[in-house]
Amino acid sequence: MQMPTPMQVWNPWVALSAQAALLGLEAQRVMALRLMRLAAGGVRGQAEAQRMMTEKFAAAAEAQAAAVAGAIEGGIDHRAGKKILGVYKRRVRANRRRLSR
């Protein structure tokens, strides 16, 4: 069996870091859209404030479940991180689509 090179070991972590950075950029766009909705006020602004709080708790619970599932499947490594990142990626993209309408 051949030993992996250092680049083969670190490569999944580099890819995960790049995905996290892109998610951060997309999340900033969602925050700007959300702030515009909140600043507009009214019923839509109040509904967005309420939705934002409930979504955050639900996303944290879902991410925690993904982390536990990843740990059960075979240890905590980049695969568990990828699952957790996937939870937030789905939610951020859904919010971007919803708020862009």
Single pTM value for the model: 0.82
pLDDT 10s digit of each residue in the chain, 101 long? 677 666 666 688 888 898 999 999 999 999 999 999 999 999 999 999 999 999 999 999 999 998 888 778 776 577 888 889 999 999 999 999 999 98
pLDDT of 9: 62
Residue showing tokens 């991410």: 63
Backbone dihedral angles phi then psi of residue 2, each to the nearest 5 degrees:
-90, 140
pLDDT of 6: 63
Contacts of 89 (CB under 8 A, 6+ apart): 19, 23, 26
User: What are the residue ranges spanned by the domains of the chain?
Assistant: 27-100
